[in-house]
Structure 1
Amino acid sequence: MKIRVDVKLKNGVLDPQGRAVAHALHTLGFDEVADVRIGKAIELEVNETDKEKAKARAVEMAQKLLANLVIESYTVEVLG
């Protein structure tokens, strides 16, 4: 079963990479871009047939390793 974990910085946490990308986009003429936040997407293939169990395990993985809970938030989606 495939699972996607999206991790991004919490609101209020400085995102220097996002600011650099926003600046570059403005330089290229994309002035309509107001803000950019950079995150990461992690796709997992797990050996589990029960969607709820697979999601629960992915939440555990996110909390223990994949996200820094002090400065990042995450979402977990079962893709099938």
Structure 2
Amino acid sequence: MTRETAGWHMSRASDLDVAVELTDVLTAQLLAQRGSNARAEILDLRMTLKSADPDDPGAVAELTEKLASRIANLTP
């Protein structure tokens, strides 16, 4: 594996890691809310994360942006 290829793999992994971390943060926020449909939303988040194509940097970036936006909207 060349240095360039290794860097691409690291970048791809870190982008997906960010999406996983944001999903965890959003999950915790949803669980803290009373009266929300947290379970359904959490299941939807997990399925969306599982269906993300790690080989498509654009899709992972879009998912990360959507997660960050949802977190910002939930934060009081």
Say which one has the larger Rg. Answer: 1
TM-score, normalised with respect to structure 2? 0.28
TM-score, normalised with respect to structure 1? 0.27
Which structure: greater helix fraction? 2
